[in-house]
Structure 1
Amino acid sequence: MKSSDGGDTPPAAGYTDEMRKALDHLATLGPEPYDFTYPPDDDIRRVDAERVSIWNMDLPEVASIRHLILPGDAAIGAADCEAAVYTPEDAGEGLIFFVHGGGWAFQNLQTYDRFMRVLCNEARTVVVGVHYRLAPEHPYPAALHDVVSAFRYVLGHRDGLGLPGGPVVIAGDSAGGNLALATLLHEQAAGREMPVGGLLIYGVFGADFETPSYREHADGHGLTRFHMQQFWDWYVPNVADRSNPVAAPLQATDAQLRILPPLFLVVAEYDPLASDTLHLKQRLDGLGRSDILWSERGVIHGFVQMTAMLESARRVMREAAEAARRFMAGQ
C-alpha cells in the first residue's frame, strides 16, 4: 500500500491544514447543503451544482473539449448519454473512460470539468466522461445500463467519434467507482472487450453500513452514513438487488475478482466508504493479485475534486495518471 507520506499504515489524527482551510472556505459559501431527508429533483441538483462549482476555479488549459451524445442501446434498456471528450496537448494513444460520482443522484459532467481537465493533462491521454440517468427517478439498473452502453459505443465507434485507438482504462470516483467496477464485472460476464485497467477513487462497493469506517466516520466529515443509506435507497430500493455484484461489487465471487484487469484504488482517511476499498483490496490480495492501493491521510470523501486547493488531490491525480499510463503500457 502506498500513502501520502510514503508510510505503510494510516495515520491517527486530524485533517491536514489545507483540508481544513478548504472546508472552512466552503462553509462561507452559499447555498446551504441539501437536506437528504427528501429525494432530490432537477431544481435541487442545480442548486447543489452551484454549491460545488467552487471546485472548478482556475481551470487548466487543454487542447480541446467536445460534447457528444452517445446513443443508448435499447436492447439493454439504456438511454442516450451525454459525453465530454477532453484532449490534452500531445495526446498519446489510448483513452480513459470516466464515470462521475454523486451518489447516483447528483452531479454531472460540468461539475467534474476541472477534474477531467487535470486527469487528461496528467495522463497525457484523452478522457471521455459520461453522464447517466440519476436516481431516484431512474433506479438500478438504469445508471449501470447507461454506462455499459456508453462504454460499448465508445469502444466500437472510436473512428467515427474522432477518438484515438489503443488501450482503454476505465475510471470513476465514489458512485462512479461503483459503476466503473460494475461495468468491468458486467462486461466480463458477457464476454465483451475489457479495459486494460481501472482507476477507482473512494468507490462505493458494498451496502454494509456497519463496517469499521461507517461506524468511525458516520458523521462530521461531509459524507455521512445517513447520506449513503439514502443514496442506496434511491439507487437500489429493492434490497434483494444489493446481493448482485453489478449493484454491490463486493458481492462478486473470488473467480470474478481474480480475472479483473489491474486496479488503482484510492482511499481517504476520513471517509465512511474507506472500508469498502480496504475490504476490496484485502480480497484482491488474497487472490494473489498486485493491485495498487493509495491511502491519502487527513482528507475526506470527495477531496480529489479539490485540485484547485489541495496538493493532496493533485498528488492523487498524478498517481492515478501514472497508473493509467502503466496499465496502457501493459506494466
Structure 2
Amino acid sequence: MSALSPAMAALLARLADEDAGVPDTTTLPAAEGRALAARLNERWNRDLPPMALEEDLTLVGLPARHLVPEEDEGNGAILYIHGGGFSFCSKDTHEGAARALANACRAPVVTFDYSLAPEHPYPAGLEDCSRAWDSFRFMMADRRTAISGDSAGANLALALMLRAPEGGGLLPATALLFYGVYDDDFDSPSYIAHADGPGLTRGKMQRYLDWYVAPHRRPEAAALPLKATDAQLKALPPLYLSAAGLDPLRSDTERLAARLAALGRQEDRFDLYDGVVHGFMQMSAHLPEARAAFADAGAFFRTIAAK
C-alpha cells in the first residue's frame, strides 16, 4: 500500500479536525445525510475560478449549469455527471470540479442534478442521465460531445454508453471517467487493503449500492459496468480512466483498464495517482495531485476533440 502524499496527509489531518464529531452520512436517513454531505462539500467550492459564461438552465426538466471557460477552444463540449454514491451531492457540490474540468479541457461543461437513491433507485438516475445526454447533444450540436463523471457519476457515464446502441442513442466522442464504481466485488484487492479508508470505506460503498440497486439487478451491465460483455466494451469510444491509489474502488478501474487492454484497444489511457484518496479531484485547490489529474484528463480530451 502506498503512503499518503504529504499534501494529502496534511489535508486529511485538517479534515479530521474540522469534522470531529460529524456522523457518517451513510448512517443517517437519506435526506439528513444528503444535507450534511452538501454542507461538508461547501469547502471545495469557495473562491471558484471565473468562467467566460456561467448560467443556470434546464436539461429536459433537470436543473443544470453551463460553464464556459475563458480559454474555450471551440471544438468540444462535456456533459459532467457528479458523484456522491448515487445518493448524495449535486451540481452545486461539484461545481469546483466542473470548473476545473472546463479549464483543463478548454471546453464548455454542463453539469446537472439527477434523481437520487434510495428514494429513486436504479435505473431512475440513469434514465435522467440518458435524457440529459440526448438534450446536451442537441444543445452542443456544432461541437464534438463528450461525457465525464466521478465515482458514481463515472458509473452512470459508462452505463449510459453501454446501453446507448440498443436504445438507438449516439455515443460520445470520448469519456473521462474518474475513480468509478464499476462492480460489487467487495473482496477485491483494493477493498481489502482500504476497507477502513482513509476516506471512503467498504461499509459506505456497501450502503450506497444497497440504496442504489437491488441485488437481483446487479448482474446488469447498466447497473455495474464490469458485468458488460467484451463486445459491449469493445464498442465504446476512446476512454480516459483514472484512479486513486488509496481508494477501495481502485481495483474496479484497474480491472476495467485490463479488460479494455486485452481487447486490443489502442486509444484508451489509464492513470493511477498514488498517495491520494477517493474523491481527491474535489480538492484541486489544495492538492497538486488533483491539479495534475485534471491536466492529464484535459490533454487527453483536447487530442480527441481536435480530430
Say yes or no: TM over 0.5. yes
CA RMSD of aligned residues (A): 1.4
Quote the offset at 1:37 in angstroms.
2.9
Is 1:210 the counterpart of 2:187? The answer is yes
Partner of 1:21: 10
**What's the CA shift string for 1:87-107, capped at 9, x where partnerless?**
011421220110000000011
Give the whole-Å Cα distance in 1 for the aligned partners of 2:259 and 2:287.
Answer: 31
- Give the TM-score taking structure 2 as reference length: 0.95
Find the counterpart in structure 2 of residue 75 from structure 1. Answer: none
CA contact (8 A) 1:33 1:48 kept: no
Matches within 5 A, 1:129-278: 129-156=111-138, 158=139, 163=140, 165-236=142-213, 238-278=214-254
Q: Which runs of 5+ in 1 are unaligned?
A: 1-11, 72-79
- Matched to 2:44, the amino acid is W
C-alpha separation between the residues in 2 aligned to 1:143 and 1:209? 23
CA distance 1:258–1:90, change in 2 (3 Å) = same
State the distance in 1 between where 2:185 and 2:24 align.
24
- Extract structure 1 runs of 4+ deviating beyond 3 A: none
Unaligned runs of 5+ in 2: none
In the alignment, what sits opposite 1:32?
22
> What is the one-letter code of the residue matched to 1:311?
P
Q: Percent identity?
A: 42
Cα deviation for residue 164 of structure 1 reads 6.5
For 2:294, the aligned partner's letter is M
Is contact 1:39-1:136 (8 Å) kept?
Answer: no
**Residue deviations 1:236-286, cap 9 Å, x none?**
0x2110100000000100000001000000011110000000000110011
1:280 and 2:256 matched: yes
Residue equivalent to 1:4: none
Match of 1:85 in 2: 66
Superposition deviation, residue 59 in structure 1: 1.3
The equivalences for 1:278-317 within 5 A come to 278-290=254-266, 291-317=268-294
Aligned residue for 1:324?
301
Aligned with 1:275: secondary structure? helix
Distance 2:249 2:92 in 1: 24
Distance 1:19 1:230 in 2: 26
TM-score by length of 1: 0.89
Which is further off, 55-64 or 31-40? 31-40
Q: Distance in 2 between matches of 1:307 and 1:260?
A: 29
Aligned CA distance change for structure 1 residues 48 and 288 (closer, same or farther; 3 Å) = same
Q: CA deviation at 1:189?
A: 2.3
Question: How many pairs were matched up?
Answer: 304
Q: CA deviation at 1:139?
A: 0.4
Change (3 A) 1:298 1:286: same
Offset, 1:174: 0.1
Alpha-carbon distance in 2 for matches of 1:65, 1:209: 40
Deviation for aligned residue 1:153: 1.2
